[in-house]
Structure 1
Amino acid sequence: MDLVTRLTRALTDPEFETDAPYAELPRLSDVQLGSLLPLAYRVGATGTPTMTRVRFAVEGEGRERPARYTPEACRAMFDALVAQLEERDAADLGRAVASLLRCTGPRPDLAVPSRALVAFRLEKDDLRQPYALLAVAALAGDGSLREVRERLGRGGGPIAVDESGLVAGLAPDELALLSEAAERDGYGAPPPLPDLWRRIADIPAYAAFARRALEAATERAEAIQAGRIPYKADGAYTDREVAVLGCAARVALVRDEPWLPDLLDRLLPAVTVAPTTAKTLPSQALLYELVRAAQEHPTPELVTAIRTVRTSVRHAGVPKTLDRMLKKVDAALAARTDVALRLPTLGFDADGVLRRTAGDHRALVTVTDSGAVLTWSKDGRPLRGAPAAVRRDHGGLVKELRELVKRVGVQLGTLARALEAGFTVDAVHPYGRWRTELAGHPLARSVVGRLIWEVEVAPGEWQAVLPGAGALPGAGGLPDAPDGSSVRLWHPIRSDPGTVRAWRDLLTERRIRQPFKQAFREIYLLTPAERETGVYSHRFAAHLVHYRRMFALFRARGWTSRLLGFWDGGDQDEAVCTLAAGEWQVRFAHSLATAGDEDLATTDQVRFDRRAAGGWREAPLADVPPLVFSEAMRDVDLFVGVTSIAADPDWTDRGAEREYWQRAGFGELTASAEVRREALRRIVPRLAIADRCSFDGRWMVVSGDLGTYRIHLGSANVLMEPDDAYLCIVASRGRSDGEVFLPFEDERLSLILSKALLLAGDSGITDPGILGQIKRGA
């Protein structure tokens, strides 16, 4: 019996017995899957265990990859939805439009089942999935479309009413596209069609409506700010209007409309700050909807606008939520290489300076490595700040320049984050455009000039260069290559160890701090053990971590995960992150170990999935592109390294976890700790304590006047010689030297240096807690 026949009998014959053949389902063709999905939907609560198992298996396969429906299967899906109305007391119209969009032949006559589905929804006053409801109503005829449109317009708000009038004139397939894009909450939702929003954006009537809707939203928000409309917290728009405006924003972003940046610069500030002193927002809902649109179709202008208003929001929780959401925006912007390089000059000259005059005074805004700096002068003499006369007579200019400084900082931060997120995309840019719009841009070059780039000077031959400080000895300046050549960010995983060391030496010698860790970036190569396990890595398994801290890091780094708790099935999960422009996905398993004031979790396997046929399929680790693998494991190392109890100096006296603390807190170095050791080897010889420091494997050894100390380069924990007694130094007790140059930001690196500086001069320690431990050890 072939697979399709076996599955058909399992779904329709209560007497038939078989196991759910999960491993065989990928063998089904898309059309065969489409023929089985209507049968699976007909299996209700009264189905036998076999029927239910097979139903869930088939529906699960339908969520993993797109099915295709013959005209007969499309009609069968509509009939199945009608047949299950009474038992399920619901009609999932998303399944109807999915079969409609994926129909392989002429659309069958669907008027009768469509009328039944619409009548059921209207009788229940269930207006969810409005686009799907309109699409099915358009198929039903008999006045159904008119009635649905009238019902959707009630209380939806003027913008929603305007859209209802527009979409009622669209074809059923166009309405189905809107439903597929905007209404993906159903259990059986298949993977979305490729270029879905592009297809919607190509509907001329909807593209025109998008501008009209966003302009109407802006005018209303500005009227609220001006007091012409009474203010109500989060009441500027109805729920339906927020959803409609989200669709309008996505269409405008996909089309990259030239009018959109200026409009968003008006709309976003108007919806994020109350016209009163209240800490509420005119529309928190629309703010988040626009950020979700940016996650899918980002532009540099929108990302900058969001980051700019983030600093002015008074509501305490909104900035944190925005920060989490913006992580995904940055990654998406890196993948959208056609717009990612775009950056306005904002009036700055070729030298990165903007000049303004205020009476006898002169203002200069200068772009530096750390952002923009505003300075004032009179008759060529620098002043400490804006003089009182300038603030009095030119207050508008002072405000404008201060806002400009803030905006430049936001734009440069957006650019740096987008470039770093482009590592897994392996973003490549045309050399001529890069040279003009980035390396030669008055603002962008402060970021670009401190990063190492590779130019393809011949097919397959890449030359690395640091634009702001020259290249490695003998490499010359910017290479002479055609404008059409490719340029990309250099990554250490593509270089030999000697070249990596040379770049690190150059950055340290010239005291160049990169916008993000590049030359000193950790790399993670596949190990023999991982080749042996095949589809999973145990490299970061079996660690004890502070769960809440790790969960916060998940969200900060753009990973998604459920908040764990000790309820049925709630004590374990996988944190998931999508990489490489949506082509790869990494999963990091973890589970709760203890509950109480400080929840602990244990870490487990890391696995990878590849997007295939519109869905996700688990992939062998050996098939994961090395750069994608390295960047994913870098995040996991961060999660474990930062939140492990081994890095907690106060954990030494606590319970059964002491054994793990001892093992992990002084164990072999991870890739991030090895990079830290390399940085310290370059930094320490430049310090006054250099003659008191040496390196021994995973330790930095510091000789003080009272004793000798070994600082672990991973955890920063300290042991005292000769008997390895533990020395507890709480971070705030250490002292740091602000003059010490650090080539990258790393809290553990700073902590190790502060402890080394403290212990090298241990005879000057006055803290009784630390001094008492040292004397006892001696």
Structure 2
Amino acid sequence: MEARKLDDYAAYFEPYELDEETFVSLSINEEGQSDYVVTSKGKALKSVPARFKKHEWIEALKEAKSELTGQFRRARAELERSMESGSGFTPAEIAGLSRNPVLAPLISKLVLMSGDELGYYDADQGALVSPAGESTALSGEAALRIAHPLDLYRSGQWSLYQKDLFDRQLRQPFKQVFRELYLPNEDELAQGVLSRRYAGHQVQPSKTVALLKGRQWTVSYEEGLQKVFYAENLIVRLYAMADWFSPADTEAPTLETVQFFDRKTYKGVPLDQVPPVLFSEVMRDVDLVVSVAHVGGVDPEASLTTVEMRRVIVSESLRLLKIENVRLDGNYARIDGKLGEYAVHLGSGQAYKQAAGALSIIPVHSQHRGRLFLPFLDEDPRTAEVLSKVVLLADDTKIKDPQILAQLSR
């Protein structure tokens, strides 16, 4: 249905004459997002001239653009859910989606999997193409799915695809190749049916509920926070010392355990029997809560998987920018500047100067958008902040901000 929807709007992509000199149409950029194209006397304009704002064709264009923007958002969310659930596609279905200019850019930048073969979908060849340019033809019966980081991890090609996204400056519609991966650790496997990975973290109840509802979790008086996986017949519950329906003015709720149950028998399921992709996505949801809805003025240090992803992003960015005075050491990016030596924590984004202590460098997150290349369209202001501070301090002699300079000269 989404692939065919564009047929209804075909007329809007043709130039429409508003007057003898001004023409307007819709266009779709390389990321699948729609916008207006306005020309006057052969020159492109940044926006529709004010005298045409109430024109009936402009009103129709606004409605069409709104529908296409909605389609882009729906498709992006559905593709991410398809990756999480392991939904299968036939080559014919992928080919049909690739004929839609809104959906094609989303499909072409994702890593797909057929059997043990990984690659980007090439609509012209009808094949999967690896970063090295090797193609794997798809038969009519081949089952395709969107590769999860677990598949990339098991294939041994994860870093190859991460490097390729940076080399070709590809921005994926959502975090796939740079998505955090969570595997059961030794303590969790020893516990059997319980995970205490996030025990002790205090969170804001209203923000926690809002975040998890967006990830298909539900809240009830009896069970608290839970998520049901019908295909796998599993229920996951997040236990906390909390009343999710109160403002919790006296004491913020403290997370305790994550536990999986059989949906039919309600018996606990050992963690080593939980599908690894499902386990990873559940832990990613809880990690999101701990990172965003934490209590206190200072962010907790990000999980190891988040730090690992940021380490790769910073490393690849430094390679492309040819910055050679930065080294990655554990959870820190260590910088040998001309005005001093610095460290930036890859989890919290806090910057330090050796023998001077913490530096107060206040980020303005909206200013990072579009200025730094991140290999996914998802908003990730903390990663942009970390990368910005590393690049800033690596060339500290060009810093103009007097407050930062005053700290560096201490």
> Shorter-chain-normalised TM-score: which range?
0.7 to 0.9
Q: Which residue of 1 aligns with 2:48?
A: 386
Matching of residues 336-485 of structure 1 within 5 Å: 343-347=4-8, 354-358=13-17, 360=20, 361-368=22-29, 369=31, 371-378=33-40, 380-387=42-49, 390-391=52-53, 395-435=55-95, 437-455=96-114, 460-467=115-122, 471-477=129-135, 479-485=136-142
Contact 2:169 2:375 in 1 (8 A): yes
Contact 1:554–1:561 at 8 Å: present in 2 too?
no
Q: 1:733 to 1:559 in 2, by over 3 A?
A: closer
Q: Give the drift of 1:734.
A: 11
Distance 1:707 1:738, change over 3 A: farther
What's the offset of the Cα at 1:343? 4.4
Is 1:488 paired with 2:145?
yes
The 2-side partners of 1:484 and 1:532 are apart by 42
Structure number with higher relative contact order (C-alpha < 8 Å, ≥ 6 residues apart)? 2
User: Which structure has the highest helix share of the two?
Assistant: 1
Q: What is the aligned partner in structure 1 of residue 255 from structure 2?
A: 603
Give the equivalent residue in structure 1 for 2:327. 694
1:538 counterpart (178, 186, 196): 196
d(CA) in 1 for partners of 2:66 and 2:232?
A: 32
| CA contact 2:162–2:177 (8 Å) conserved in 1 | yes
Report the Cα distance in structure 2 between the residues aligned to 1:432 and 1:596, rounded to whole angstroms: 52
Q: CA deviation at 1:557?
A: 2.9
SS in 1 for 2:384: helix
Report percent identity of matched pairs: 26
**Are the aligned partners of 1:355 and 1:365 in contact in 2 as well (CA < 8 Å)?**
yes
Mark the CA change 1:598 to 1:386 in structure 2 (over 3 Å): closer, same or farther.
farther
SS of equivalent to 2:319: helix
More strand by share: 2
- Counterpart of 2:178 in structure 1 is 520
TM normalised by structure 2 equals: 0.84
Distance 2:183 2:279 in 1: 8
Structure 2 residue 166 is matched with structure 1 residue 508: yes
After superposition, the CA RMSD in angstroms is 3.4
SS in 1 for 2:158: helix
CA distance in 1, matches of 2:350, 2:205: 21
Cα offset for 1:750? 0.9
Q: What's the counterpart of residue 219 of structure 2?
A: 561
Alpha-carbon distance in 1 for matches of 2:12, 2:110: 21
- Do the aligned residues in 2 keep the contact of 1:735 with 1:755 (CA within 8 Å)? no
Distance in 2 (alpha carbons) for counterparts of 1:644 and 1:704: 33
With over 3 angstroms needed to count, the CA separation of the structure-2 counterparts of 1:536 and 1:441, relative to structure 1, is same
Counterpart mapping for 1:205-244 below 5 A: none
The amino acid that maps onto 1:376 is V
Rate the CA distance shift 1:720–1:600 in 2: closer, same or farther, 3 A.
Answer: farther
Q: Does 1:671 align with 2:305?
A: yes
After TM superposition, give the deviation of residue 738 of structure 1 in Å. Answer: 4.3
Q: Given the two structures, how large is their TM-score scaled by the length of structure 1?
A: 0.46
Q: In 2, distance between residues paired with 1:493 and 1:721?
A: 39
- What pairs with 1:689-768 in structure 2 (closer than 5 Å)? 690-722=323-355, 725-732=357-364, 736=368, 738-744=370-376, 745-762=379-396, 764=399, 766=401, 768=403
Distance change >3 Å, CA 463–CA 730, structure 1 → 2? closer
Q: Contact 1:701 / 1:710 at 8 angstroms: preserved in 2?
A: yes
Matches of 2:164 and 2:123 in 1, distance apart? Answer: 12
Distance of aligned partners of 1:497 and 1:729 in 2 relative to their CA distance in 1, 3 Å threshold: farther
Task: List per-residue Cα deviations over 1:684-708 (Å, max 9, x = no partner).
Answer: 23337x2332211110112334332
1:517 aligns to what SS in structure 2? coil
Shift of 1:353: 8.0
Q: Give the Å deviation of 1:464.
A: 2.5
CA–CA distance in 1 between the matches of 2:250 and 2:292?
A: 15
Q: Which runs of 5+ in 2 are unaligned?
A: none
CA distance in 1, matches of 2:50, 2:292: 47
Residue type of the partner of 2:179?
A: R
Give the aligned residue type for 1:385: S
Match of 1:642 in 2: 292
Query: Judging changes above 3 Å, is the alpha-carbon distance between structure 1 residues 736 and 485 closer, same or farther for their aligned structure 2 residues?
Result: closer
Shift of 1:530: 1.3
User: Cα offset for 1:582?
Assistant: 6.9
Deviation at 1:519, TM superposition (A): 0.8
Aligned residues: 398
Structure 1: where are the runs of 5+ without partners? 1-299, 301-340, 564-568, 650-660
- Cα deviation for residue 680 of structure 1 reads 1.0
Check the 8 A contact 2:341/2:354 in 1, yes or no.
Answer: yes
Letter aligned with residue 363 of structure 1: V
Equivalence for 1:587: 237
- 2:84 is paired with a residue whose SS is coil
State the Cα distance separating 1:449 from its structure 2 match: 1.6
- The SS at the match of 2:349 is coil
